Amino acid sequence: MIIENAERVLESHRLCDHCLGRLFAKLGRGTNEERGRAIRFVLNMERSKRGLPPIEEPETCELCGNVFERIPELIEGMKSAASGIEFETFLVGSRFPGEIREKEEAIWKEFGIDTAEPINREFNRELGKAFGRATGKDTAKNPDVVFIVEPYSGKIEVQINPLYVYGRYRKLLRGIPQTPLPDFEDSIASIICRAFSRAFGGKCVFKGAGREDVDVRMLGNGRPFIVEIKRPKRRRLDLDAIAREINASGKVEVLNLRFVSPKEAEEVLTRNHRKEYLALVRVDDGVTPEEAEDVARKLKGLEIHQRTPWRVRNARADRVRVKRVHEAEARWLDEKHFELRLVTDGGLYIKELVSGDKGRTKPSVSHLLGKSAWCERLDVLNILDD
């Protein structure tokens, strides 16, 4: 039936071996060109036996216009399009004119062909294999670059897939926002992204796993963050060298830099971390060592109902969040100050936990003391992984 179907098609359409073999792409092994050549050879033997002339491969294929002969030229175009871009893996996609796809599907329908594959699928495969042989690069499901080729016009578009780098940052000074703000010369994001953009030759987007206030330091093991480098021209760089450049700022330190997948990056940013804080509490009405210890004892294990703080009401949804204080220790300093070391659920606002935020946070340190208190200084000591 293969030979009979092939003869019927070739008596009506002048097809090259690629387009002939592609009609039977789901049968057997080998390339479509090899398949088409074998089918034509056997068919012509049968025709010779019946005293009929052979049906040779046409000078110009009426379906594809011999587009597969353009592969060497397109490879040179792909090399040129990727000049200056560092990559090891790639994929190829193509854009074929709609009339060619329509004509191909019309042939399938006309002759009841259900074993074919589309022309763009074969073309992508053959161009990809040829480009790999010519450059030594490999194909991959999640490649460094994707080439989108228009076979007839020769137009080639290079899509450079982003890179993702995980790290943790320590903010050593107060007065630095996490992301750029008016009236601030620098931010955590700008200090980190300057180094990454310069090294990779792409646009850097900083994403922190939560944030601390401008006047709060981030110490200890650092806050997890992701940098996404869009359209990087370089991909294989020494992350330790980038870390040294950032750390030389004296304002920010980065730790544990490593490349991650998009999925890992998303998990870092959506994971809910417990946090360890050190708060300096001021009580103008005075506080004794016993009162400080009593507050810490009552806070430990306490469930906190916290309505969105007044100071961030325009940036956060106004709702009540239920969080827990897991650990609390107090160290009395003087008649108006004591330190609180706290381990809490992520998302609990510590300044408001101390002050009570005019009753929006219940209970609070002020409530437990029975007198007004506020957070005079705050540090994040550690971000605790699950």
* Class of 274-384 in CATH: alpha beta
E strand residue ranges, the chain: 89-94, 138-139, 145-149, 156-160, 163-171, 203-208, 217-230, 252-260, 274-282, 303-307, 320-334, 337-344, 361-362, 374-384
Q: Which pLDDT score, from 0 to 100, does residue 385 have?
A: 73
The tens digit of pLDDT for each residue in 286-305 reads 999 999 999 999 999 999 99
Residue ranges of the annotated binding site are: 277, 349
Section 338-354 average pLDDT: 97
Section 334-357 average pLDDT: 97
Euclidean distance between CA atoms 125 and 211, whole angstroms: 46
Banded pLDDT at 272 (limits 50, 70, 90) = confident
Section 355-374 average pLDDT: 97
Active site residues: 213
Section 364-381 average pLDDT: 98
Residue 359 forms beta bridges with which residues? Answer: none
Res. 171: pLDDT tops 90: yes
Euclidean distance between CA atoms 174 and 186, whole angstroms: 12
Q: Which pLDDT score, from 0 to 100, does residue 314 have?
A: 84
Q: Under CATH, what is the fold of the domain 1-160?
A: THUMP fold (3.30.2300)
Residue ranges of the annotated binding site for substrate are: 277, 349
Query: 163-270: which CATH number, 3.30.70.2510, 2.40.160.40, 3.40.50.1970, 3.20.20.80?
Result: 3.30.70.2510
Q: Where are the domains of the chain?
A: 1-160, 163-270, 274-384
Q: Which pLDDT score, from 0 to 100, does residue 316 have?
A: 84
Q: Which pLDDT score, from 0 to 100, does residue 125 have?
A: 97
Q: Which pLDDT score, from 0 to 100, does residue 33 have?
A: 98
- % the chain with pLDDT above 70: 100
Q: Which pLDDT score, from 0 to 100, does residue 386 have?
A: 59
For residue 6, which of 28, 51, 38, 48 has the smallest C-alpha distance? 38
- Single pTM value for the model: 0.86
Domains 163-270 and 274-384 in one fold: yes
